[in-house]
Amino acid sequence: MFKQYATILPYLRKYRIKYAVGLLCLVTVDAAQLLIPQIIRKAINLVSAGAFDLRSILFLSIAMVGIAVLISSGRFLWRFFIHGSSRRIETEMRDRLFDHLLELSGGFYQANKTGDIMARATNDMGAIRQATGMGFVSFVDGTFMAIAILAIMIAQNPGTALLTIIPLPLITILIIFFGSMVGKRFERVQAIYSRMSEIAQETMAGIRVVKAFVKEEKFAQDFSGSNDLYRDASMGLVKVFGFFFPLIAFLSGLTTLILLAAGGGAVLRNRMSAGDIVAMLAYLQMLVWPMLGAGFTVNTLQRGAASLKRVNEILEAVPDIVSLPGASAHHADNAVASCDIEFRALSFAYGKAETPALRDVSLFLPEGKTLGILGRVGSGKSTLIRLLPRIIDPPPGSVLVGGHDVRDYPLPVLRAVFGFVPQDSFLFSDTIAANIRYGMPGLSETDFRRVSAIAAMDRDVLDFPSGFETVVGEKGLTLSGGQKQRIAIARALASRPPVLILDDSLSAVDAETEDRILSALIEERRGRTNIIISHRVSTLRHADLILVLEKGKVSQHGSHEELLAQEEGFYAEIARLQELERAAEKGEQGRG
């Protein structure tokens, strides 16, 4: 368990002064509490001896009030310093976790679900805060109070005290056993909570698909089943507590029974005064908290250790793709000299796959030219362009930008070269304007209007209730597929990337709008490098060079006219089929 806590030692060292002051206040409060039974003992002895006066009782009463004020002030201060530090540790760890998540590669997110990651960043962080806050307090408080109370009791009346604490070793054994039970059950609770979060997140993210297939009842049942499992696992943890704490209270009550039996006889034999037995009874009642607190401490520390383990699994994950050693030194100016793109005998396979996604691809695209890519599903089109900014890592020396291997550039420098518009465009739950300005927050109003017009969004906003200030739903839920793609295109154009990549990002746009966008885009991007992936020949005809991929290999390359001239080639075949489709559509419209 304590091995996990080694990871938060740097935070504890950072706030060691605050923890030390808080600890001093906590010990002061405990010491003040230990004085109260002594004052009560003196008062009862004075009363029972009949030798008291108003001044003596008044003095003891004032002392009690002063101690109460000291305890109240001390409790505020230790809560301020210790709980405040635990909150700061939680905040810094959550920031560190989020920063690390931003550094991790796509492979991590393929292996880990969003709901589980969210659970670790929220629920588990709360358990860590409890461990570094109240867990620390209960450990120090319980240890100090238990040792001090036992020392006072034994010092005042050894025989009676030793008889009274006979049940304590049994309580210690139960606490150790309880701790192991809690740790296992809490890990299961957290795992089920993560699963429940996954179901909720996936359902909300895919609500359109859920509704389209009328699967609301199925997902409701899945969530209900997971929720029931979470309830049952939590109840299993509650049952352990429900059994443990009453048992500890019962054993603590036995100590009181033993004190009354042994101490009462001692009072009758004048070996103890009435004040002594009342004080010892008060100390025994105070001793119940350290015993119960020990269980709370074990529970909190076990929960914290389990949560730290889950958080550390993310923090210890290593990004698959990083800037290679020496990359910054090789490109100290943090700039790419030119945007010439070259593939040299590129072959690439995912993981241990026997069939490569790309085979012996060679191509040179000069800066300022437009490349079109055509191919069937699974031919390697998206893989090819994802190798350029190292979204996936290419073999050394196979992909070059500006005459240098892409692996020689620092990742931020390399990726700043590319503006990427995927087919499945992601929008943030913000206004349309904020989504377009995402890459360029300082975009001028003139440039904003220009890129919006190029992406053909200027006419669509007239139908929105608040124009460009209309808030779209999560992932652009309230927009059509074509609108999302066009906003993503405008967002990419706004940042003026040296290389613009459109990965079938006009697939949801009608032919007329597509032609308008491409004509304006080619004019806007004249002199800059562009890569356009599309299944439509009408889209690719704007490209200077077209690449046809089949089963990961280049089957054809050339201009639009050159490829059409190759009548037996795949490009010409697709062009004929699409021409027939357009003719059929026109015929249908004419009959309509």
Residues in the chain where the model's pLDDT stays below 50: 332
- Would 165 be classed as within a structural domain? yes
Is there a single domain that holds both residue 392 and residue 445? Answer: no
- Please name which of 522, 525, 336 lies closest in space to residue 412, comparing C-alpha atoms: 336
Give the domain CATH number at 119: 1.20.1560.10
pTM of the model: 0.74
Q: Judging by DSSP bridges, how do beta strands 404-405 and 399-401 pair with one another?
A: antiparallel
Q: Which domain holds residue 376?
A: 327-417+497-591
Instruction: Give 7-62 pLDDT, tens digit per residue.
Output: 888 998 999 999 999 999 999 999 999 998 888 888 887 777 666 677 777 888 88
Is there a single domain that holds both residue 199 and residue 260? Answer: yes
- Would 308 be classed as within a structural domain? yes
Element at 54 (helix H, strand E): helix 54-78
- Say what the pLDDT of residue 348 is: 92
Is there a single domain that holds both residue 97 and residue 243? Answer: yes
Is there a single domain that holds both residue 123 and residue 272? Answer: yes
CA–CA dist 375, 349 (Å, integer): 18
- Would 532 be classed as within a structural domain? yes
- Would 563 be classed as within a structural domain? yes
Query: How many CB atoms are closer than 10 A to CB 515?
Result: 15
Q: Tabulate helix, strand, coil % of the chain (nearest 5).
A: 65, 10, 25
Is there a single domain that holds both residue 211 and residue 360? Answer: no
φ, ψ of residue 22 to 5 degrees: the values are: -60, -40
- Would 198 be classed as within a structural domain? yes
Is there a single domain that holds both residue 513 and residue 532? Answer: yes
Q: How many domains does the chain have?
A: 3
- Say what the pLDDT of residue 387 is: 92
Is there a single domain that holds both residue 397 and residue 458? Answer: no
Is there a single domain that holds both residue 461 and residue 526? Answer: no
Is there a single domain that holds both residue 367 and residue 245? Answer: no
Is there a single domain that holds both residue 310 and residue 379? Answer: no
Long-range contact list for 583-591, CB < 8 A, 24+ apart? Answer: none
Give the domain CATH number at 431: 3.40.50.300
Q: Where among 315, 337, 354 does a domain terminate?
A: 315
